[in-house]
Amino acid sequence: MSTQARSFRLVFLAAMLPLILGACAVEDRTPSQEQLAMTGPQLVQKVCSQCHGLTGESESPGFPKLAGQQRAYLHLQLTDFKGHLRSDSAGTQYMWGFTHLSSRQIDELSDYFSAQQPMRSSEHGSHPRGETIFRQGLPELGVVQCAACHGERAEGRDDIPRLAGQHVQYLERQIAVFKHTDQRPRGAAMKAVTHALSDEDAQAVARYIASLGA
């Protein structure tokens, strides 16, 4: 692990420690008054920004961008994290400390990030294979086109996430999670879509999707 990565992890753990301890205490699972009193924007400033940035425009590909994400999708994911329903490794490592998020805080966090300027990407260039998969799918392999659910510009809608502008590496990793595991609840549709994607095709479509937010 690089010095920069170690420093980042220490900052993150220091910010998360009060919430993690509150969430994992065996004898007392009642959230502190301080935690309950925090507004969504306060949580963003004190905790979420350490990984996702103040506006949700994460710089690290290890953490998804949340800026301009669909509100309903954010609400569902935060609810799943609170209930420990997501068992993918990144979710369990970084988000399981949020057991004590209140309904109000989930609402306010969803409002905050969905209201930000939509996520942007530095991915440019032409990605013909990725565009074909995104717009036409791979009918011979039973792969449905991504645009059918995520929209012509990968903007998403309601509880279907915005993908345009997301980190390429994050998109690839989530495709792998859907393809190979059952660690994401509500993932049945994506499992059917990704089952026949090769690693090369996953990378190609991830790069094209990211470029839609360039």
- Which conformational region is residue 124 in: left (phi greater than 0), alpha (psi within -120 to 50 degrees), or beta? beta
- Among residues 60, 71, 187, 62, which one has the least CA distance to residue 118? 71
Question: Tell me, what's the pLDDT at 1?
Answer: 53
Residue 72 has a pLDDT of 98
Give the whole-angstrom CA distance, residue 214 versus residue 165: 6
Topology alike, domains 3-114 and 128-211? yes
Query: Do 100 and 35 contact (CB within 8 A), yes or no?
Result: yes
pLDDT over threshold 50, residue 127: yes
Q: What is the torsional sign of CA 185, 73, 82, 59?
A: positive
Q: What is the chain's Cα-based Rg?
A: 18
Domain 3-114 class in CATH: mainly alpha
Read off the DSSP letter of residue 143: B
31: DSSP letter = P
Tell me which amino acid residue 168 is: V
Collect all residues with Cβ–Cβ distance below 8 Å to 41 and sequence separation of at least 6. Answer: 108, 112
186, amino acid identity: R
Give the model's pLDDT for residue 30. 57
| CATH number of the domain located at residue range(s) 128-211 in this protein | 1.10.760.10
For the chain, the domains span 3-114, 128-211
What are 78-120's pLDDT values in tens digits? 999 999 898 888 778 888 888 889 999 999 999 999 999 999 9
Burial 15-35, CB ≥16 within 10 A → b, else e: bbeebbebbeeeeeeebeeeb
Q: Give yes or no for a contact between 163 and 209, defined as CB atoms under 8 angstroms apart.
A: yes
Residue 208 pLDDT class (50, 70, 90 cuts): very high
pLDDT score for 169 = 96
pLDDT at position 22 is 41
Question: 142-193, pLDDT tens digit by residue?
Answer: 999 999 999 999 999 999 999 999 999 999 999 999 999 988 888 888 988 9
Condensed to tens digits (0 to 9), the pLDDT of residues 31-88 reads 667 777 899 999 999 999 999 999 999 999 999 999 999 999 999 999 999 998 988 8
